[in-house]
Amino acid sequence: MFFTKVFYQNVMFRKSCGNCHYCNTKRPSDITLGDFWGWEKVNPTANADDKGISLILVNTEKGRKLWQEINKELNFFEAPLKDCMQSCLQYPTQLSINRNLFENDYKRHGFEYVYNHDYSKVSILRRILRRIKLLFKTKDNR
């Protein structure tokens, strides 16, 4: 529960996540693996076991050849790239304004301290400013 909370609030991410150069579909790897958010738009019955679906992006010719060698062993379906686009494929993660506080508290006081501290409290003004900033980032990346 604790990990999930600080993860989804972007409190415990590395600083580099806030300016990641790989938040796009032009990646140097042959294949990209991740969670497929939005699968229900393409195949609403695909996640019948409710365990989630992996996303596999083939980025290079070498990746395409590897994929052709292994896909016979997998249960998969193809999806248009536009239906696979999630935030981490479009722009860097917006880090929590409490991210540095969390890191410093962890360094100074250890896990038990940060476990018992609430890093989710953000003033209404900060929330509004963060949303405005995110809107501009999204517009710039279209």
Do 53 and 66 lie in one domain? The reply is yes
Do 72 and 127 lie in one domain? The reply is no
Do 19 and 29 lie in one domain? The reply is no
Do 70 and 125 lie in one domain? The reply is no
Provide the total of helices (H) and of strands (E) in the chain, helices listed first.
Answer: 6, 2
Do 116 and 140 lie in one domain? The reply is yes
Residue 52 Cα distances to 1, 35, 76, 84, angstroms: 19, 7, 13, 14
Domain ranges, residue 50: 24-90
Residue 105 and residue 113 in contact, taking contact as beta carbons nearer than 8 Å? yes
Do 45 and 16 lie in one domain? The reply is no
Q: What percent of the chain has pLDDT over 90?
A: 63
For residues 56 and 32, what is the distance between their CA atoms, to the nearest angstrom? 6
Residue 37 and residue 10 in contact, taking contact as beta carbons nearer than 8 Å? no
Do 84 and 110 lie in one domain? The reply is no
For residues 90 and 141, what is the distance between their CA atoms, to the nearest angstrom? 7
- pLDDT tens-place string over residues 101-129: 999 999 999 999 999 888 876 666 666 77
| Residue 142 scores a pLDDT above 60 | no
17 CB-near residues (< 8 Å, 6+ apart): 10, 92, 93, 95
Do 97 and 64 lie in one domain? The reply is no
Domain count, the chain: 2
| Residue 141 scores a pLDDT above 60 | no
Q: Which of 50-54, 74-78, 137-141 has the lowest mean pLDDT?
A: 137-141
Do 32 and 64 lie in one domain? The reply is yes
- pLDDT tens-place string over residues 53-100: 999 999 999 999 999 999 999 999 999 999 999 888 999 999 998 999
This model's pTM is above 0.85:
no
Given this model, what pLDDT does residue 61 score?
97
Given this model, what pLDDT does residue 128 score?
77
Do 47 and 11 lie in one domain? The reply is no
- pLDDT tens-place string over residues 31-44: 999 999 989 999 99
Last residue within a domain, chosen from 57, 72, 90: 90
